[in-house]
Chain A
Amino acid sequence: MSTARENIFSSIRSALAPLPSRTPRPEIPPGAAEPCWLDRSADKMALFVQRAEATGTRCFTDPSACADWLRTQNVSKVCVPGPLERLKSLCGAFAEVVDTYRRADVDDIDAAFTPAAGAIAESGSIILSDESTPDRLAALAPWHHIALVSRSEIHLTIADALAAHPDDPNVIWVTGPSKTADVEGILIQGVHGPGAQACLIV
């Protein structure tokens, strides 16, 4: 094992040794990668909603509006975790509600709420992490996924978000519903992950 490692490192070192000089690490000017339309003084929440909607993520601020949407989607079994009593009763009016996501129910649960770690205004992305979102499958397998985003956890830029969860072994940014254009370049939503992506800002 260690010989492969040593071989590789010694080949790299001898490949680099003859270079007369090496490219220095460039200074990345603050905001270098921000789009020109980004207004640093913008309201983060308003920008997030605008960008998220543009990528196909529905945004709700009112739990009952969110529940109404699920009702129109003919959802029949919803996973609502932990202590979210209000959501449970709202969804209970039209669907079966469970509070833990079980693998055996993967074909039956057609909507799940999961807590998110935050969001990114610039790109309209939802941030999930192992710390915040215990069950990766619950946020991925159901057709409808609704992330619970706390208003105070919305980051303005991608650069800000990159620095936000340094100790989590797994962080994922979700920017819109799962999609493909593999068949003749035609856009189809809901390949492996949610076909309908939403967030409820609390």
Chain B
Amino acid sequence: MPEQKVELFARRLDPGVQKAVHDNSAAGTLKRYSILGGDYDTPDELRRLAGQIRQHSIEHLDTYLEQAEKSLHRHGAHVHFAVTAEDACQAVSGILERAGARKVVKSKSMISEEIHLNDHLATRGIESVETDLGEYIIQIDGDHPSHIVKPIIHKNRRDIARSFEREGLGDYNDDPETITRRARSFMRRKYLEADAGITGANFVSAESGRLVLVTNEGNSRFCLAAPRVHIALVGIEKVIPSDADLAVLLNLLGRSATGQQLTVYTEFINGPALTGRPSGPREMHVIFVDNRRSEILASDCREILRCIRCGACLNVCPVYRQASGHAYRSVYPGPVGAVLSPLLAGKKFKELADLPKASSLCGACNEVCPVDIPIPDLLLKLRNRGHEEHAPSPGTPPMGAFAMLASSPLLWRAAMQGSRAMNLVPLDKLPLPYLQPWLKTRTLPEWRGGSFRRWMKSRHSR
């Protein structure tokens, strides 16, 4: 039995955090809706087109990946492949060690979270600093991101001010502008001292080899401006056929993620900086990481590999809004995570097999997804798989007691009255072992039993 389920987590979540996550997510959904609807007559057609581009790409992954590799070679980049998370970490530290690099700046990338790169580098005595403001706060707090694009959606300014004070970035000050300025001057030093910059990639064009990186803060650009080595960690599924496809994908990504027409910095890179330039990397390495993506490609859930990590499905999801990201106990939260995380877990599938159940299958995630992933269908397939593999499932309490009550009007009335007392009982503390698995994942609404009988009576007496 996994210790912590999504709903249980939601129920015990601090109300302040819950409100922050809910309001910020709801605002994200609204922004997305108004910009997409304002800019396109038929945004759903564009989503379907983008979905088809991505589906075509992953169904021809061998061809496009090989082409991307060739294009990158042609432009002077080194290309590496890593089968597992461990291989990917080794590849990074190998490159760093060969380059004599001791200090690294990192621009936010989900895949480096997935492979736990920072921990690996720390064991090798390599300092790596997360440069995205939110990710940096996650790093100094030893925390985990709770949203794909808003990693600290669960923290407030007071939490952050305390962390900055603790890390010696200045006296306690919770003004967001001051927090940002302090991070700016701290990061400056880190960028200029760093030997290497590590990034992810949002897309890779097979035709040109161009990696596309988007950020609003400009941190990825700084990672590619000051240090002399650039290492990009890229999931193999990020490849698309050509630069022309980016017109569709970039227009949807910014609008879906943050309600922007384009993210502030959209960068295209396929090699080291031109020779003789005073800034920019002299060496570029691209590490294509599988880490079970080819397994997912072989499964009946391959559509999830279309994902462009916009976070729109998190924002719109009623379960995510209540539970926040940590409830999903993995790198990818929300609806996308409920599909992707158990699949990426491999042999540990069972430990996360509850995630696909943390959904009412309302379909909102599919409707907002810029690449039209049928997430509810995938959740159902994974529920089946969990069932077939006998993953633990919250049991259903025996129905005998209910049957007895329901068949005697007198007992039923007494139970209805007596049950008001239930509102006062901490349900998850009841010493009833057979109820516990069920209560762990469910809450009861406030008891208002008996009203149906009262309502019937009042109708008759009219």
Contact = CB atoms under 8 A, between A and B. Distances in A.
A18 B252 CA distance: 31
A158 interface: yes
A130 B248 contact: no
B196 to A, nearest CB: 16
B273 interface: yes
A115 interface: no
A74 interface: no
Contact of A182 (B150, B177, B272, B280): B150
Contact of A15 (B152, B241, B294): B294
A176 B62 CA distance: 38
Nearest to A186: B176
Contact of A4 (B61, B75, B87): B87
A144 to B, nearest CB: 14
Contact of A130 (B61, B152, B274): B274
Contacts of B261: 35, 55, 122-123, 175
Contact of A174 (B53, B150, B265, B279): B265
B69 to A, nearest CB: 8
Given A162-B243, A190-B180, A179 B216 contact: yes
A180 B208 CA distance: 30
B82 A185 contact: no
Nearest to A35: B39
B44 to A, nearest CB: 13
Contacts of A186: 176
B278 A134 contact: yes
A93 interface: no
Given A12-B297, A176-B264, A183-B157, A23 B279 contact: no
B20 A173 contact: no
B269 A169 contact: yes
Contacts of B288: 8
Contact of B224 (A107, A131, A170, A190): A170
Contact of B216 (A137, A159, A169, A178): A178
A36 B40 contact: yes
A70 B269 CA distance: 32
B192 to A, nearest CB: 7
A163 interface: yes
A33 B251 contact: yes
B294 A183 contact: no
A45 to B, nearest CB: 19
Contact of A13 (B62, B208, B219): B62
A19 B59 contact: yes
Interface in A3-23: 4-5, 7-9, 11-16, 19, 22-23
Given A171-B268, A193-B221, A130 B216 contact: no
A26 B180 CA distance: 43
A183 B179 contact: yes
A38 to B, nearest CB: 9
B66 interface: yes
B184 A175 contact: no
Contact of A140 (B157, B222, B260, B271): B222
B133 interface: yes
Given A7-B83, A130-B273, A183-B180, A158 B297 contact: no
Given A8-B290, A13-B62, A26-B56, A175 B264 contact: yes
Nearest to B191: A192
Contacts of A36: 39-41
Contacts of A26: 49, 52-53, 56
Contact of A162 (B76, B81, B247): B247
B134 A11 contact: no
Contacts of B76: 169
Interface in B212-245: 216-219, 221-222, 224-226, 236, 241, 243-245
B294 A137 contact: no
Contacts of B150: 181-182, 185
A136 B225 contact: yes
B53 A136 contact: no
B246 to A, nearest CB: 6
Interface string B76-106: 1000111100010000000000000000000
A89 to B, nearest CB: 25
B81 A5 contact: yes
B327 to A, nearest CB: 20
Contacts of A141: 188, 222, 225
B427 interface: no
Given A169-B271, A183-B160, A8 B192 contact: no
Contacts of B217: 178-180, 191-193
28 contacts: A7-B81, A7-B83, A9-B65, A16-B60, A23-B56, A25-B56, A26-B52, A32-B49, A32-B247, A33-B247, A140-B222, A159-B247, A162-B247, A172-B265, A172-B268, A173-B267, A175-B261, A176-B264, A179-B216, A180-B134, A182-B137, A183-B179, A184-B24, A185-B150, A190-B180, A191-B184, A192-B222, A194-B218
Instruction: State the 10 A-B residue pairs at the shortest beta-carbon distance, nearest first.
Output: A193-B218, A15-B298, A11-B294, A169-B271, A182-B134, A35-B39, A136-B225, A191-B217, A15-B297, A178-B218
